[in-house]
Structure 1
Amino acid sequence: MKKAKKEKVKKLKNKGIFSNIIFSMKQINKVDKWYVPLLFVLEILRIPQVFLFPYILTVIVDGIERGKDARDVILKAMLVTLICFIVRVLQMLVESNIDTYRKEKVIVSLQKKFYRNSLKIDYEKFESSETQDAFEKAKRALYQNGGMLTIVRSTAEFIGKIFSLAIAATIIIYINLWLGVIIFGLAIIKFFLNKYARKKEQTEYRDKLPNINRRISYTDNISRNLSIGKDLRIYKMDKFINKERDRTYTNFFGILKPYLIRETTVGSFINILEAIDLLAIYGFLIYAVLTKGMLIATFVYMLAAVREFAWSLDVMVLSSGDFMSCSYIIKDYREFYEMNVFEKKETSDHPSNKVEIEFKNVFYSYENQEGYALNDVSFKIKAGEKIALVGLNGAGKTTLVKLLCGFYKPTKGEILINGVNINQFSRKTFQELIAPVFQDNVTIGMELGENISMSPREESDEEKIKQTLKIMDLTSKVDSLPEKEKAILSREFTDTGIELSGGEVQKLAIARAIYKAAPLVILDEPTAALDAFAEYNLYNNLSEFIGNSTAIYISHRLAVTKICDRVLLLDDGVLIESGSHNELMKKDTEYKKLFNIQAKYYKEGGAL
C-alpha cells in the first residue's frame, strides 16, 4: 500500500492585507511596545517639513517681489527655519531610536522565537520536503526587507502620506481641478501595474525560491564542511558538487530572468507615467504664471505642493505593492503555524524510574513508501531487561528506535511504556525516560564537558563528567588537551577548537548516555566506529554502568548479544525470532546462521 502523509497547508481564508497588518503589529508589540507607535510619530514629524521647507523660499521670494522690509522677511524666514530645525531634530532622534536599537531588537526577538518554535515541530513531519519548503517560506516574514517589519513601516508611511495628500490636494484645487484629476488618474494606472507585478512576483518567483534556496545553501555549505572534507578531495566530488550547483543556479536564473524582465517592463511604464506627471505639473503652473498672473513666490510654493501631491500618491502606490508582497509572505508565515506539524500540547508528563515496553501489532510506512518498513511487530520488554535488536542493514532496526523515541508515530498498532500509549507522552517525558545513542553521532560547538552533560558548565556535575570520561577511556585524550574538559568541540567559533576522531565521537555519545542515567538506554550501533578490541571492552563494561536501566542494543554485529537477556531478530521489517543467545544457538535459526558467519570472520582475523 502507499502511504500519503503530506501535511497540507491550511489556506487562510479572509486573511487579507488588513488582517496581516494587525497580526504583524501584535507580534511586534509583544517584543517592543514602542516600536509601532514611534513609527507613526516619525511619519507625523515628516508631514510639516514637506510644506515648511519650501515655504522658507516662498517667504524670501515674496519679500523680494513685493519689496517688503528685509528685516521682517529675514525674521519670518528664520522663525520658519527654526521650526523646521526643531522638527527635523526630533525626527532624527526618533528615527535613530528605531533604526539603531529597536529594529534590531524586534528582528532578533522574532527570529529567536521562530527558531525556538522550530524545535517543537514533529520530527517525522519536519523530514518532509513540504514542511521544509513551508518553513523556508515562513522564515521570510522575519527578514528586515519584507515581512512583518516592512508591512508595519509601510502602513505608517501610507497613513502619513494620506495626511500629506489631503493638504496638497487642497492646494491643488486652488490651481486647477483637472491637474489633480490627471495626477490621480495616472496614480490609479500605476497602482494596477504594481499590483500585477507583485502578484506575478509571488506566484512565479518567490513561491519557487524555497526549494532552490535549500539546494543553493547545501551546495555552497558542503564545500566548507569539515566532516566530509576528506571525501570531497579524495573522490573528486567537486565535479559532482559543481554540476549540481550549476544546475541549481540554472534553475534559479530560469525563474529570475522572466521576473527581472517583467519588473523592468513594469518599471519602465511607471517611469513614463511619472514623466507625464511632471509635464502636467510644470505645464499647468507655467500656464498659470503666464496667463493668470501667478506670482513667482506662489509658483514656488505651489510647485512644491503639487510635487508632494504626486509624490504622496506614488508612495501610496509603492506601499500598496509592499503591502501585497509582505502580505503574501506573512500569509505563508501564518499558514505554516496553521499546519499540523507541531507537537500536540494535550500530551502529559509520565515520569518513572523504570521502563517496561510493549509493541502491539506495530506497522510503520514512510511517506510514499510501498508496503511497510515495520510489519506487524509485537514484543514485550520487562523493566531492567537488556535486549539485543539485531538484523541486516535495512531490516527496520533504526525505524523501530525512532518510533520508540517518539520521533515517528505508528501507522497502525500502538507502543506502550509502563502500560501507557506513548502518543500521550510529552516531550519532557521522553527527555527524562530515554538516553539514546544514535547512529549519526554529533558534537555541538560547545565545551567537551558540556557535550556530555548537555547543560551549561555551571549546571553540570564536573566530577560525574570526569568519571564518565574514565569509563569510556577518554581521560588520557582529555588530559592531553590544553583546556581539558573546557575544550571547544568545533573550529567554527575559535582557532583553538578541536575535532575528535570518529571513534572518540562515538565514545563521547555513549558517555552522554551514561551521564544521563535514564531508566531506558538505547544504543543504536554504539560500536560502529570502534575496533574489535574497543568493542569487546565496551560491552564488558556497559552492563555494569547501565545497571538496572532497561537497555536496547541495536547492531548488525552480533557480539553484543552475549551480554543481553534476549535477542530480537528483524528481517525486512518483520520480527522473525526472539529468545536468548543460548536458546537461539541450540536451534536451526536465522540468528544462528548469522552469528556463525560473523564468528568465522572474527576467527579468521577479518572484521565486519
Structure 2
Amino acid sequence: MDYNKVFWLLILQFLIIVCSSGIRLIQEYIDKHTEIKIDYNIQKIISNKTSSVPLAYFDMPEFYDHLNRIQGSVGNRFLAPIKNSFQIGQATIRLISYLAFLLTIHWSLLLLSVAAAIPLFIIQKKYGKRRFLLLYNQTPKAREGQYITSLLTNRESAKEIRLFQLGGYLLDRWSKTYFENARESLRLLRRNQMSNLGLEMFSGLLLTCSAGIIVWFTRSSTVRIGDFVVISQAVQGTQTSINQISSLVAQIYEESLYIQDFYKFIQFKVPILERSSQSEYPFPTPLQSGITFDNVAFRYTGSFTDSISEINFFIRAGEKIAIVGENGSGKTTLIKCLMGLYPVSSGRIYFDGINIEEIKEQDLRKNITVVFQDFMRYSFSVRDNIAFGNVERYGDIEEIKKVASKTGVDKFVKHFSKGYDTYLGKYLINGEDLSGGQWQKIALARLLFRGGEVIILDEPTASLDPRAEIELFKQFHTLTKDKTTIFISHRMAAAKMADRILVMKEGRLVEIGTHKELMENGQEYYRLYQLQSHWYSDNNISQQEVIGWMK
C-alpha cells in the first residue's frame, strides 16, 4: 500500500473539511452583516416616513396598524428571498442530476418523483398567504395588547394603575387578547399541519409506487440489488430536492407579501392630507402685514362633520392674540392648521398674502414655534431639552444659558451637580425629577431657543392654578415682546393681556375683540368669564393685579 499517497489524501480531506466549515462560517457572518445593514436602512426609511408624514396620519388607526405590521425582523424578510434563491439554485443542480439518472432508467420514475411537487407548492402558498392575512387581521388586537403592556410597564402610568388597582383588570384584559390571537394562530397551524400530513402520505404513496416499479424492474430485467438501492436513493433524492424547491418558492411568495406591505406603507398617502408639491416660497421674514384665515374649515379623515368651519380673521404682524373657548371648541385644531400640520379641508391661510400651501415646509416649521399642552419631556439632559428647539445651534451653550436665564430654568439648574448636562427623569438613568412648573419653564426655554416669527403657547398651563397660569402668560408676553404671539386657554383672565381675543365655540369663531368690548357685548366671552369668575376670587387675583400685569 502506498502510505504516502494515503497520507496526502487524508491531508486533502482535512483541508476540504476545514475549507467547507470556514466557508459556512464566513457565509453566516456575511448573512448576518448584510441583514444588520438591511435592517438599519429599512428602519431608517420607516423612521423617515413616520417623521415626515402629515400629523393627521397619526389620527388614523389604520396608519398605526400598518406601521405595527412592518416592524420587526425587517432585514431578515428582505434577505430571505435572496438566500432562498441560492438554495433553490443548489437544489436545482442536485435535481437535474437525479432526473437525468432516472430518465435513463424509466420515464415513470421521473413522473412519480415530480408529481408530489405540485400539491406541495399549492398548499405552502395557500397557507403562506393565510399566515400573512392572519397577521394583517390580528394587528389591531396585537396593538391593544402592546398598549396594555406599555401601561403596565410605564412609569407615567404606574401611579394611577396602583391608585385605582387596575393591574389585575389590565392583566386579565391583556391575557384575553393574547390568548384570542394565540388560538387563531394555533388553529391555522393545526390546519396547516393536517395538510402537511396529507402531503406526507401522498409523497409516501408515490415513493411506494416508485419502489414497486423498481422491484418490477429487478424481476423483469438485469437490475441487481445494488442498483435497486441506488435507484431508490435517486427517487428519494429527487422528491427531497423538488419538495425543497417548492417550499422555498412558497416561502419567497410569502415573504413577498410582507415586502409588498412594506412598500405600500412607504407609499401610504391620503391625498387630501398631503401638502401641495408646489411649495416654493420662503416664509416672509420678518412678517410685514400679518396672518389671514379666509373661510377655513378642517375635517378629520373618516369624520362626517367639520372640526372647525367658516373661520375668518386677520392677525396683524406683532399683535398679541388670545384664543379662548371651552374644551373641544376647536382651538388646538385651528392652531395645527395655522402651523401647516393639518392641511385645511377648504378655505385658505395666508402669511403676508402668500398661501400656506405655497410656502416651503421647512421654512414654515422654522418660523412658527409652539408649546403644546402635552409638550415633550425628553429623558435627556437639560441642555438637550432646550437645544432640541433648534439642533442646528446645539453647540451654542451661551444662547442656551441665556434663554434659561430668561425663563427661570437657571434657578433650579444651578443646584444640579452636572448643571446643564444633568439628565432629567428616571427612565434612562437616575436623573433629576422636575415639577410640572419646572418642566413648563424648560418647554418655554426650548420655544425661545427656536425663535421664529410666530410664537404660540397652546394650553401648556392646564394643570396650573389661575394665578400660576397668569404669571406664566405674563412671562410669555414679556419674552415675546416683538413677535406675533398667540396664546390659547379655556380660562378667561389670562386673555386680558392680549391685544385682541378670539372666542371659539363648537368649531366656529363666534366673537373677536378686546376684553372690554367682549364684556360689553355680553355674549359667549361674557358667559365664560362669569362662569370662571370664582376662580380668580378664590385665588385672590384682583382686577387691578391683572391690569397691572397688562401694563
TM-score normalised by L of structure 2: 0.88
Kindly indicate whether residue 421 of structure 2 is the aligned counterpart of residue 486 of structure 1.
Answer: yes
Q: Distance in 2 between matches of 1:523 and 1:107?
A: 39
Residue 262 of structure 1 and its aligned partner are, at CA, apart by: 1.3
CA contact 2:422–2:432 (8 Å) conserved in 1: yes
User: Which of 78, 94, 108 does residue 148 from structure 1 map onto?
Assistant: 78
Is the CA contact 1:219–1:245 (under 8 Å) kept in the aligned structure 2?
yes
Q: Tell me by how many angstroms 1:70 deviates.
A: 7.8
- Structure 1 segment 581-592 matched on structure 2, within 5 A: 581-592=515-526
The one-letter code sitting in structure 1 at the alignment partner of 2:193 is T
Q: Which amino acid is the alignment partner of residue 115 of structure 2?
A: G
What is the 5 A alignment of 1:356-375? 356-375=290-309
Aligned to 2:164: 235
Matched, 1:105 2:105: no
- Residue in structure 2 matching 1:326, options 235, 238, 255: 255
Residues 227-266 of structure 1 deviation map (CA, whole Å, 9 limit, x = unaligned): 1211111112224423432342243135223212212212
1:392 aligns with 2:326: yes
Match of 2:93 in 1: 163
Residue matched to 2:17: 85
Deviation at 1:525, TM superposition (A): 0.8
Partner of residue 122, structure 2: 192
Q: Is 1:464 aligned to 2:399, yes or no? A: yes
Q: Deviations over 1:493-535 (max 9, x none)?
A: 32x2344333322222122111112111111113223344433
Cα deviations across residues 382-428 of structure 1 (Å, max 9, x unaligned)?
11111000011111101111111112122221111221221223331
Residue 286 of structure 2 aligns to a residue in which SS?
coil
Q: Does 1:202 find its partner at 2:137?
A: no
User: Partner residue of 1:262?
Assistant: 191
Segment of structure 1 superposing worse, 334-343 or 78-87: 78-87
Distance 1:351 1:185, change over 3 A: same
1:179 aligns with 2:113: no
For residue 437 of structure 1, what is the amino acid of its counterpart?
V
CA distance in structure 2 between the aligned counterparts of 1:96 and 1:223, rounded to whole angstroms: 38
Are the equivalent residues in 2 in contact too, given 1:133–1:211 (CA < 8 A)?
Answer: yes
Aligned-partner Cα distance in 2 for 1:143–1:267:
29
Structure 1 unmatched runs, 5+: 1-68
The alignment status of 1:120 with 2:86, answered yes or no, reads no
1:484-523 to 2 correspondence within 5 Å? 484-494=419-429, 496-523=430-457
Contact 2:38 2:75 in 1 (8 A): no
The alpha carbon displacement at 1:75 in A equals 7.6
Q: Which AA in structure 2 matches 1:124?
A: A
- CA distance in 1 between counterparts of 2:187 and 2:263 reads 28
Q: Secondary structure at the match of 1:586?
A: helix
Q: Structure 1 residues 349, 82: CA separation in 2 closer, same or farther (over 3 Å shift)?
A: farther
Structure 2 CA distance for aligned equivalents of residues 381 and 372 of structure 1: 23
What residue in structure 1 maps to residue 545 of structure 2?
none
1:335 counterpart residue number: 264
> CA separation in 2, counterparts of 1:604 and 1:93?
76
Residues 500 and 301 from structure 1, CA distance in 2 versus in 1: closer, same or farther, beyond 3 angstroms? farther
Could you tell me how far apart the structure 2 residues matched to 1:583 and 1:273 are? 89
Name which of structure 1's ranges 547-556 and 123-132 shifts more when overlaid on structure 2. 123-132
Q: How far apart, in 2, do the equivalents of 1:489 and 1:176 lie?
A: 78
Once the two structures are TM-superposed, the CA of residue 431 in structure 1 deviates from its matched residue by 1.8
What does the per-residue CA deviation read over 1:362-398, in whole Å, with 9 as the maximum and x for residues that have no partner?
1222234343221211000011111000011111101
In 1: Cα distance, 2:325 partner to 2:135 partner = 46
1:279-318 to structure 2, matched below 5 A, reads: 279=208, 292=222, 294=224, 296=226, 305-318=234-247
Structure-1 separation of matches of 2:378 and 2:217 = 74
- 3-state SS of the aligned residue for 1:292? coil
Match of 2:381 in 1: 447
Using a 3 Å threshold, how does the CA distance of structure 1 residues 230 and 384 change in structure 2: closer, same or farther? Answer: same
Partner SS state of residue 119, structure 1: helix
Choose from 133, 137, 162 the match for 2:65. Answer: 133
- Give the residue type in structure 2 aligned to 1:312: S
For the 8 Å contact 1:360–1:415, the answer to whether it is kept is: yes
**CA offsets, 1:419-463, max 9 Å, x none?**
122122333122211110111121223222111110569833212
Secondary structure of the corresponding residue to residue 114 of structure 2: helix
Bigger CA drift: 278-287 or 526-535? 278-287
Distance in 2 separating the partners of 1:222 and 1:460: 36
Three-state SS of the structure 2 residue aligned to 1:116 is helix
Aligned to 1:383: 317
1:57 counterpart residue number: none
Tell me how far apart the structure 1 counterparts of residues 343 and 382 of structure 2 sit (CA, whole Å): 33
Contact 1:136 / 1:210 at 8 angstroms: preserved in 2?
A: yes
1:304 and 1:462, CA in 2 relative to 1: closer, same or farther beyond 3 A?
farther
Shift of 1:302: 5.7
Post-superposition offset of 1:358: 0.9
CA distance in 1, matches of 2:189, 2:540: 62
1:421 and 2:355 correspond: yes
| Equivalent position amino acid for 1:272 in 2 | M
Instruction: Tell me if structure 2 keeps the 8 A contact 1:503–1:529.
Output: no
CA contact (8 A) 1:396 1:571 kept: yes
Comparing 538-547 with 394-403, greater Cα deviation is found at 538-547
* Deviation by residue 1:7-35 (Cα, 9 ceiling, x = unmatched): xxxxxxxxxxxxxxxxxxxxxxxxxxxxx
Aligned residues: 534
Is the Cα contact below 8 Å between 1:232 and 1:238 reproduced in 2?
yes
Q: Which runs of 5+ in 2 are unaligned?
A: 542-551
Alignment of 1:522-541 (within 5 A): 522-541=456-475
Residues 137, 210 of structure 1: 8 Å contact kept: yes
For 1:369 and 1:89, how far apart are their aligned partners in 2? 62
* Residue pair 1:553, 1:560 contacting (<8 A) in 2 also: no
Distance 2:214 2:277 in 1: 67
1:211 aligns with 2:140: yes
Counterpart Cα distance in 1 of 2:247 and 2:125: 9
- Asked if the contact 1:120–1:343 (Cα under 8 Å) also holds between the matched residues in 2, the reply is no
Q: 1: CA distance between counterparts of 2:486 and 2:136?
A: 45
Deviations 1:292-317 (A, max 9, x none): 35474x77766665444222211111
1:37 matched residue in structure 2 = none
Q: Is the contact made by 1:354 and 1:520 (CA closer than 8 Å) also made in structure 2?
A: no
C-alpha spacing 1:497/1:304, structure 2 compared with 1 (3 Å) = farther
1:271 matches 2:200: yes
Deviation per CA, 1:21-65, whole angstroms, max 9, x where unpaired? xxxxxxxxxxxxxxxxxxxxxxxxxxxxxxxxxxxxxxxxxxxxx
1:128-153 deviation digits (Å, cap 9, x = unpaired): 12222233334468252xx3222222
Q: How far is 1:185 from its partner?
A: 0.5
CA distance in 2 between partners of 1:460 and 1:420 (Å): 34
* 1:12 equivalent in structure 2: none
Counterpart for residue 402 of structure 1? 336
What secondary structure is seen at the aligned counterpart in 2 of 1:366?
coil
Q: Hey, what's the Cα distance between the residues in 1 that align with 2:234 and 2:33?
A: 34
Structure 2 CA distance for aligned equivalents of residues 491 and 168 of structure 1: 65
- Taking the aligned partners of 1:87 and 1:262, their CA distance within structure 2 comes to 43
1:52 aligns to what? Answer: none
